Chain A
C-alpha cells in the first residue's frame, strides 16, 4: 500500500488514487502508419527501476499528476504536474 504525494493535496493513501499507466506518452499524429499507431495503443515500457507514471487523485481533488516510482522498491522519488517533465521536477 503506497503513500503517494498528490502535488495539490500532499501525501495520501493509495486507496484515494487510481493508476493511469505510463506517463509522457504523446499521441501520434493520425497519419502515422498502422504499426506505429498500434505501438502507441498497446505497447508500454515495463522497466525494473524508475518509471514515470500517471495517477489521478480520484477520491480527492480529481487531478491528474505524475510520479516517478521505482518498480523494484516502490520508492517514489518525484511527484509533479502533467505540464512538467520528469527531469525538471524537484
Chain B
C-alpha cells in the first residue's frame, strides 16, 4: 500500500525508525507495526505455520490471524505479538515469524505489576457504545472503570467517517473523553485488554503501561500492569469483529477485511491502487465509498446476495458504482512472491470466470459480536438468521451486553444503547445524578446479511480454502476430521487445531461451525461454535506473576541465629520456607566428614544446634488439658506442671499427622511443639476443631514459633557447660530429670529449659526470646569452648535420631502410616477417645500384613542403600517383583561404624532376622532386617 501525503491519525512531524528482520524502516508516530510495514510496501509479514505460505496483514485489530511478530531483544523479547496492536516507537526491533514465536532463554527482564480495583460499573470497550455507557454511569456519580485495547478511546469511530449530532464523530469522542477525565470517580484505561471474566464479576485486565515508548523513556515504569477489577455491574461493549470469507487462495498478502481497508485509510493514510470489494452485507459498502473518495480505483464491487436493497447499496448505485449481486470471488492469483495480483470472479448461479486485476481484495463475510468474556461466564448465545451470526442470549447476572456486541451495529443504536446501559447500571446501584441527552447519529436502514461463508472451489480442491488462517486449517482439513468420525465442534477443534491459535480462532469459529454443519448435514444453529475461555488475548506468564518472582516469590524465613551459621560457613537446606544449617564443614571437609565429626561431638562431648524453626503453640484456658487429650493419641491430662511428654497426633482417618513435645507449664497452660514443616497445619488443625467441632471448649491458641529461639545443648558434657550459665537452677539428674521443664535464667537471659532429646543423648533444650537467640548461641559457644563444643546441623541430627529409631513424620511415614505401623503403639491411650481412634479400629488398620517400621543393616557395611529403594525377598524374581517395603532413612553411623537405616516392610518386626534385597539398576544389595533401635536401647544416656 502507499502512504498518502497527508491525513490519517499520524503525527507527520515525528518520523520513527524501526528494525524489521534486520532492515531499518521508517514510519510515523501513530502507526502500528502493521501499518508501518504496509507503508513500507512490506506485503508479506510472515509465513504460515503448517504450509509456510506467505501471509500479509489481514486486519487492523484483534482479529489478526497472520501478522505476528517477535518484539524486542534479549531478556525483554516477547514472542508472538500481534503487529496490529503494537504501537510504533523509535528503535522498535521486530522480526517476522512463521507463526511460532521463540521464548527468550534469558530471564524475562520485563517489569510487571499488579493492581486491584473496585468499580461500581466496569465498561469493557471504548468504542461509541462504551463511551456512551461510561459517560452516562459516570455522570450519575458511579465509580466507573472503562478499558479499551487501543491507545485512545473511539473504537470503530477511529476508522470510519461518521457524524454524531451533525459533527464529525472525532469531536464527540474528544468532548466525551474530556468529560470522563473530569469525573473523579471515573478511570479511563487505554491500551488495556480485558482478557478474563471471573465469577462474581471479576474482570482481569492487561494494561500496556510503557511498551509503546522508546526503551530509553521507560525507566521507572512498568512494562505492563495486571488489573484485577471487582465490579458491581459490568457493561460489555466489546463490539463486533468482521469475519473473513472462505474461497480458494483466500490467504494471500493483499487480502484483508473490508473494515480494515478503511482503518488503514482513515487512521494510517494508506491506500492500494485498485481494490475489489467482496461483500455479503451493507457495511462493506463504506469501504467502496471511502476508498473511492481517496482516489482508489474500485475495480469491482461483488455482493454475494441476490439483491442488495439496504441504504448503503442503494446510495452506491445512485453514486454510479456498478454492483454485481450474486457474484463472488472464486479464487485469487498471486505474483512470484504469492502477493495478490488479481481475483477470479464468477456468479453464484454459474457461468464463466473472469479475472479482475487488483492489489487489494477487501472481504466481509459478516460480523460476529465479540462475546468471549460473555462466554467465559458461560453466557448463552443464539443464532440470528437476519445477521447470520450468533448473538448473546441473556446476559449473565449483573452484566449487560450492548451495542455491536449485542448485534446492534448501527451507530445510533450503539450510542442510545450504551447510554441506557450506563444509566441502568448506575440506577441499579442507587445512583441518581446528572443525565445528559443522548447523542444521535443517522443510521442507514440495513439489509439482511447473506448467509454465504464459503465459495466452493471450482476444481473441487479445498486444500487452499482456509478457515483458520492462523492455524492453517482448510475446508479439506475439516472434511478429513469429519471423515474420521469427529462430529462435535469442540472435537473438530481439537482434531484440526481450528481456534487453538493465540487469537483463539476469533475469525475462524463461525466458519468452522458452518463447515462442520455443512459436512454432516445439520442445521448450523444446532452445531454452534466452540466456547470462549480465558485468556481472550495472550498474556505473558510473567505478567500474571507480576512482582511475585525471584526473591519476592516466597518469603525466606531465617532464625535470629542465622548470622552465626553464615559466619561458621554452614551449608543450608530448605525446610519449607526456613533456611536450616545442614552441616558446618571445616576446611577440607565434605559433608560426610563434617557429619561424622558433628555426630561424635554429640555422642562423646558437647554440641549445640539451632532448633528455632520448630513450630510452637501456646495453649491456654481451663479446658486446655481436655482439648489436648482429644487431639493427641496419648494421655496429656495426667501430665504434671513442669513436665513434658512426647505427643503424637493422627488425622481423622488414623494416619500419623504430626509429633512433638507437649509441656505443661501451669495447670491451664501448655506449650506445644510441632515439626518444622507442620507448624502451620497443626495450628490450623487445632483452630478448626476448636471453632467447628468443640466451640464449647474454653481454649485459646497462639502461634509463638517466632517468639522463642531454641537451642538444644546436647552431649555427655552438656550439664557441665550449662551449669555456670544458670542462676538458681539445679541441673542435677534428681532435681532436673529427663522430661522436666523449668523457667529460669540462662546466660543472663530469661529462659525456658527442657530436658528433651531427639538425639538420645543428655540434652538441655534452652529457649529464650526470639531476638535474644543469637546472644544465647554465643554464650553457649563461649561457655563450651573449653569442651570443644561443636555446632551440628540437620544432617547430623538425622543420623543421630535414626540411630535411636526415632521417626520423622513425612520421611519414615506416609499417608498410610498408623501409629502402630510406625512402632508407636505404646503411644495409643486405650482409656480415652482422640481424633483418629475410631479409624484405627477398622479391620484394615489392624491387619498383620501392614507395613511396619524396622531397622536395616546392609550386608556390606560400606554400602548406603539409597532412601526410597524397594525391598524384595527374591532379587531374581521376574518383574513386576513382589514389593515388601521400602527404605525410609539410610546413613552411615559413626557410633556403630557402618551403614544402617530404617524401612517400612510388610509384617514389620515379624521379619526381624530376615534377609531382603534392594534391587537397583546395578545390583541388588542385601540387607538384614533388625530392631530399629541401634544405639543405647535402654535410654541410659538420654536419662543421664
Q: Which residue of A lies closest to B200 (CB)?
A: A3
State the total of A-B contacts with C-beta under 8 angstroms: 52
Q: Which residue from A11, A41, A64, A73 sits with its C-beta under 8 Å from B839?
A: A41
CA gap between A34 and B692 in the complex, in Å: 24
- Interface membership of B831, Cβ < 8 A: no
Q: Which residue from A1, A34, A38, A64 sits with its C-beta under 8 Å from B688?
A: A64
A30-B837, A38-B842 known; A3 and B692 CB under 8 Å?
no
- Interface membership of A62, Cβ < 8 A: yes
Q: Which residue from B199, B684, B695, B843 sits with its C-beta under 8 Å from A74?
A: B199
Question: Interface code B91-116, partner A: CB below 8 Å = 1, 0 otherwise?
Answer: 00000000000000000000000001
- Interface membership of B833, Cβ < 8 A: yes
Q: Which residue from A1, A34, A56, A62 sits with its C-beta under 8 Å from B843?
A: A34
On whether the beta carbons of B202 and A30 are closer than 8 Å, the reply is no
Smallest distance from the beta carbon of A60 to chain B beta carbons, Å? 13
Chain B contacts of A58 at CB under 8 A?
Answer: 684
On whether the beta carbons of A27 and B693 are closer than 8 Å, the reply is yes
In chain B, residues 371-398, which have Cβ atoms closer than 8 Å to a Cβ of chain A?
A: 378, 397
Q: Which residue from B688, B691, B839 sits with its C-beta under 8 Å from A37?
A: B839
Smallest distance from the beta carbon of B442 to chain A beta carbons, Å? 42
Smallest distance from the beta carbon of B405 to chain A beta carbons, Å? 22
Q: Which residue of B lies closest to A64 (CB)?
A: B691
CA gap between A56 and B687 in the complex, in Å: 10
Chain B contacts of A49 at CB under 8 A?
Answer: none
- Interface membership of B324, Cβ < 8 A: no
- Interface membership of B198, Cβ < 8 A: yes
On whether the beta carbons of B199 and A62 are closer than 8 Å, the reply is no
Q: Which residue from A32, A54, A56 sits with its C-beta under 8 Å from B684?
A: A56
Smallest distance from the beta carbon of B326 to chain A beta carbons, Å? 47
On whether the beta carbons of A82 and B653 are closer than 8 Å, the reply is no
- Interface membership of A2, Cβ < 8 A: yes
Smallest distance from the beta carbon of A48 to chain B beta carbons, Å? 13
On whether the beta carbons of A56 and B202 are closer than 8 Å, the reply is no
On whether the beta carbons of A3 and B843 are closer than 8 Å, the reply is no
CA gap between A26 and B378 in the complex, in Å: 35
Chain B contacts of A20 at CB under 8 A?
Answer: 688
Question: Interface code A54-89, partner B: CB below 8 Å = 1, 0 otherwise?
Answer: 101010001110000000011110000011000000
For A, the interface residue count at a CB cutoff of 8 angstroms equals 27
On whether the beta carbons of B695 and A82 are closer than 8 Å, the reply is yes
CA gap between A61 and B821 in the complex, in Å: 38
In chain A, residues 18-55, which have Cβ atoms closer than 8 Å to a Cβ of chain B?
A: 18, 20, 27, 30, 32, 34, 37-38, 41-42, 54
Q: Which residue of A lies closest to B651 (CB)?
A: A41
Q: Which residue from B200, B684, B687 sits with its C-beta under 8 Å from A76?
A: B200
- B interface, how many residues as a size bin? 20 to 34
Chain B contacts of A32 at CB under 8 A?
Answer: 838
CA gap between A40 and B200 in the complex, in Å: 32
Smallest distance from the beta carbon of B681 to chain A beta carbons, Å? 11
On whether the beta carbons of A1 and B198 are closer than 8 Å, the reply is yes
A3-B199, A41-B653 known; A62 and B839 CB under 8 Å?
no
Chain A contacts of B695 at CB under 8 A?
Answer: 82-83
In chain B, residues 644-697, which have Cβ atoms closer than 8 Å to a Cβ of chain A?
A: 652-653, 684, 687-688, 691-693, 695
Chain B contacts of A73 at CB under 8 A?
Answer: 378
In chain B, residues 188-247, which have Cβ atoms closer than 8 Å to a Cβ of chain A?
A: 198-202, 228, 230
Smallest distance from the beta carbon of B120 to chain A beta carbons, Å? 14
Chain A contacts of B653 at CB under 8 A?
Answer: 41-42
In chain B, residues 388-424, which have Cβ atoms closer than 8 Å to a Cβ of chain A?
A: 397
In chain B, residues 808-867, which have Cβ atoms closer than 8 Å to a Cβ of chain A?
A: 833, 837-839, 841-843
CA gap between A27 and B230 in the complex, in Å: 38
On whether the beta carbons of A1 and B202 are closer than 8 Å, the reply is yes
A30-B833, A82-B692 known; A62 and B838 CB under 8 Å?
no
Smallest distance from the beta carbon of A85 to chain B beta carbons, Å? 14
A38-B842, A58-B684, A74-B200 known; A64 and B837 CB under 8 Å?
no
Smallest distance from the beta carbon of A39 to chain B beta carbons, Å? 12
On whether the beta carbons of A56 and B199 are closer than 8 Å, the reply is no
On whether the beta carbons of A41 and B833 are closer than 8 Å, the reply is no
CA gap between A76 and B398 in the complex, in Å: 14
Chain A contacts of B687 at CB under 8 A?
Answer: 56, 62, 64
Chain A contacts of B228 at CB under 8 A?
Answer: 1, 13
Chain B contacts of A1 at CB under 8 A?
Answer: 198-199, 202, 228
CA gap between A54 and B228 in the complex, in Å: 25
Chain A contacts of B833 at CB under 8 A?
Answer: 30
Chain A contacts of B837 at CB under 8 A?
Answer: 30
Q: Which residue of A lies closest to B654 (CB)?
A: A41
CA gap between A24 and B27 in the complex, in Å: 67
Q: Which residue from A34, A41, A54 sits with its C-beta under 8 Å from B652?
A: A41
On whether the beta carbons of A3 and B230 are closer than 8 Å, the reply is yes
CA gap between A58 and B930 in the complex, in Å: 45
On whether the beta carbons of B842 and A2 are closer than 8 Å, the reply is no
CA gap between A63 and B688 in the complex, in Å: 8
On whether the beta carbons of B199 and A82 are closer than 8 Å, the reply is no
Chain B contacts of A13 at CB under 8 A?
Answer: 116, 228
CA gap between A73 and B580 in the complex, in Å: 46
A37-B838, A37-B842 known; A63 and B200 CB under 8 Å?
no
CA gap between A62 and B839 in the complex, in Å: 28
CA gap between A18 and B198 in the complex, in Å: 18
On whether the beta carbons of B230 and A54 are closer than 8 Å, the reply is no
A2-B199, A3-B202, A74-B199 known; A34 and B842 CB under 8 Å?
yes
Chain B contacts of A38 at CB under 8 A?
Answer: 842
CA gap between A76 and B695 in the complex, in Å: 25
Chain B contacts of A37 at CB under 8 A?
Answer: 838-839, 842
Chain B contacts of A63 at CB under 8 A?
Answer: 691
Chain B contacts of A82 at CB under 8 A?
Answer: 691-692, 695
Q: Which residue of A lies closest to B839 (CB)?
A: A41
Chain B contacts of A41 at CB under 8 A?
Answer: 652-653, 839
Pairs across A and B, CB under 8 Å, 13 listed: A1-B198, A1-B202, A3-B199, A3-B230, A13-B228, A37-B839, A41-B652, A54-B692, A56-B684, A64-B688, A64-B692, A76-B200, A82-B695
* 15 further A-B pairs in the complex, CB-CB below 8 A; given A13-B116, A20-B688, A34-B841: A1-B202, A2-B200, A3-B202, A11-B230, A34-B842, A34-B843, A37-B838, A42-B653, A56-B684, A62-B687, A63-B691, A64-B687, A64-B688, A74-B199, A82-B695
Nearest first, the 4 A-B pairs at minimum CB distance are A3-B200, A74-B199, A30-B838, A1-B198
